Structure 1
């Protein structure tokens, strides 16, 4: 038995032993656990043997998988990390030469810009130029592709619609970076583009009845094996976590802010109604009563988004305390003593099976986002389910 499988079994035993307990949340505990995860993940960035699928995607230094981790690490560095991870963040940006991914027009390859822009505090910085040049090229190209997710002339399933944000995940990857570019440069055209495209995608993929997003147009008429509409937990988690990151880049008096907050609240209440008995969110959100697998990446994004809203008075604590606390506790039980997070659904685009030893960098990033809000969350006024 290899070392990693031994760690999995040890983690499973610890999880079973803790199932009957409802541990309280303390800032010290959040601090310790998030630092443990951050250290483990940074120590395991050179070899991705522990990742079950899509290791090539994971290894791409400027791709979305690593970007999602560094976005979470950057936020943790600014909160509980107290600056201890700044050198790792700077080294990452410098190693990438501050460049976007090769498909710079694709939202996935723009996600890493969120890290770069968080490290840049001046429009005069030379480090700003690579991202700004690519964004200017996208603006010059224009956004007039269909949002329908169909095969293009080459037979590729991810067709020309991905020059725009035609899949839900994109709303985490790109809009916060575009808004940050406006904040730093003082040029509103980047934010205007982000908001125009955000609402175009939302008008296309958001279901006004369920207040959730289809992952892309292929799911409009698809049903799960339980005959429910298919709303993917992580796909919606991407959007819900991206909304706070976008809102934080907007000026307080921006005319779009109230509309975005209203949209955010609709999603928050949808998530609150779909939590499983254990405190997580099932891979297929409407199948939560039938197939409540303990998936931690989508659930971490949701906990981050909900705790962010309560912490800022945008969501009533009375409605969400139990949801947030039980959600965090259920996720935290999947963190091993060594520091890796289990039960993370692998790279995909729809609900899928999850295993106890499944972990991935975006799961680590999502956990750190959640931890950054749970650190200051007033758990004393909440009672776990």
Structure 2
């Protein structure tokens, strides 16, 4: 059965991506929409099985790994102040407006804060793919977006742990949580400088087929796993694995070998999996709720992160583009929503509407980026 799903997903995503481009939109938009069409919401041909979920997870890790390979470390470092302002603006506005929206609908303080934090989460995996297609990934705006996404992930996870320790009776040690994050980056920096180049040089001499490709994937998934056990999203680990390898002489060769594997099979599963989360069952009475929180989700990131970019010196167009790039909540918010359901901080009747809000933000991001940035022409 899964073999048939592979055929359906690969064929449908490629055709949908092609149609999207022909209609003047980034291909990623069509790939997400086809996930909604193929999934339980409409045709019900594809289901979120464990193996599909695994393929999807590999896809997003490889997507962020490729983003790391294409990222200029100097640009990332130069834009760290801008990234911090964008991240802070992109957290304060969603938390504040999300809390007010929840309060309006009669939710408790704890539930309102949790929904605010849910809306503060950012996943730039969709933005990364869109910026790659438009030619803006390796730019000042792209570097700021990536840096802001890393900081956003760390800040939101820490705030989430604090909220859950207060409201859900969780016995999480905040000091331990922050300590783990510091440890992650310290070990990451040391490994990137000393271990990664040595490992690749050594592994490339192993007398087997594609040793360099295998070595790069070991680093990618190893960094992702290390991040997850220390409370950092796996995509942050794989992104920094890409940055580490980009500093070596093997960068171009690895990029050329990984891209066909990623975009040829695994990344389409990630795009489709976003659409599979959508279900229209029983939401007839919740249209108003979905509309309100979708508006909050879209405007809070766009204005909050955009204002942060403007304060850091970007012009209006670039600020709007950075704000638009931070809108997508993606898989990060889906994970937080599931945590909220388990801890009773997200009421059951709000779970499906919040999932739909997350998907709406993800669908809105590619066309907004295309509208604001357009295709970048590099000399």
Determine if the TM-score, normalized by the shorter chain, exceeds 0.5.
Answer: no
Q: Which has the higher contact order (CA 8 A, sep 6+)?
A: 2
TM-score (norm. length: structure 1): 0.30
TM-score (norm. length: structure 2): 0.30
